[in-house]
Amino acid sequence: MSSGYVYHEIYSWHDSGSVTGLLPADPRRGLQPLHHLDTPDTKRRLHELVAVSGLLDHLVRLQPAVASDEQLLTVHTEDYLQRLSAQSDGVGGDAGDGISPFGAGGLDILRRAAGGAISAVEAVVDATVRNSYALVRPSGHHALPDHGMGMAYLANVAIAAHHAKALGIERIAIVDWDAHHGNGTQHAFEQDPGVLTISLHQENCFPPGSGDISERGVGPGYGSAVNVPLPAGTGNGGYDFAFTEVVVPALDRFHPELIIVASGFDAGAMDPLARQLVSSSGFRAMARHVLDAADRLCSGRVSMIHEGGYSEVYVPFCGHAVIEEMTGRHLLEDPYLELVDGFGGQQLQPHQRAAVEQAARLAAEVPTPTTAKTA
């Protein structure tokens, strides 16, 4: 079976406004107008690299749906959707935290991004494709029921996971390798023992104070949230160790029917919004860990939903490596790989080992199919 791929040109039209990095432009404060760090270029350039390399010829194009109110309301409140709608019908606005702007008509794009995640997951569930990649914009894993945050507006992954549950999937594992904690996704399922959320992220980066290993889930979902906060400066060695010691054992214990990956590339070595050192080979290795686990546990069913990543230079090569690994084809060499893999600190460091080993204890307490049914 082949790999599915979701992309729509409208994603590049998501308008992040006239800002200075993250803050609204304001000459009175010395904030000269520039552009938002979440520019369309990272994802547009990734799509174009997929096309120019020939990789697109080996993918099944999937058309993104437009998420309905009913689908969005599985995660978000009606009041929040009404606020987004009112701003979208006007001149645009902000999703709620002051750094998540969108332009006029923006809700239509947000619906198409959430719908792209839904389409990617549905194609895997109904066996149209073996696995899928949804290159959607904007991101979603920070979005909470009643507001967005961190350039995330609608909870794309969580909405798609709810759709998979509506299609009959009972056990879903969500692996989030974005450098920032997947707080919104975790919140959406913190009481659900049927959804395992695993987040590998830079310790206390964003949101501040979020993603500690003590966050384990709530009530019947206790144990189904696993956080691996990694020290700043963690490279390929630390991430690979985290996968072998935490992610893969947790997946084996949980035994999902479907794995969804929140695929952010801001742990990449050139990213302006995190301080990690992962190269395209590191992301390729993480993808291989997930794909192998899926082959063993759930007939290869994996859907990857694009999240963050803000280096226009390096995100395309990292994303391309992951999609190559999904297809089993290697068509392009990363021209930066020798440089980035040679950075000092790529090997597992003692303090990184200690952080991972602390989190590894949590994998043994992930609910199994038997314990979930008796909870």
**DSSP codes, 88-134:** HHTTEEESSSSS-EEETTHHHHHHHHHHHHHHHHHHHHTTSSSEEEE
Catalytic residues: 142
Q: Which of 148, 265, 139 is nearest to 201 (CA)?
A: 265
CA gap 168, 100 in Å, rounded: 34
Residue 138: is the preceding peptide bond cis (ω within 30°)?
yes
Per-residue tokens: 153: 């507006």
Give the H/E segment covering residue 239.
helix 236-242
Query: If you search the block for the tokens 């066996």, which residue do you land on?
Result: 127
In three-state secondary structure terms, 19 is strand
- Phi then psi for residue 295, to 5 deg, are -60, -40
- Measured CA to CA, the distance from residue 93 to residue 340 in angstroms comes to 38
Alpha-carbon distance of 283 to 256, in angstroms, equals 22
Inter-CA distances, 370 with 115, 171, 220, Å? 33, 12, 14
DSSP 13: G
Peptide linkage before 40 cis (omega within 30 of 0):
no
Distance of alpha carbon 321 from alpha carbon 336, whole angstroms: 12
Closest CA to 47 of 232, 334, 320: 320
Distance set, CA 67 to CA 7, 40, 153, 159, 236 (Å): 15, 21, 13, 9, 36
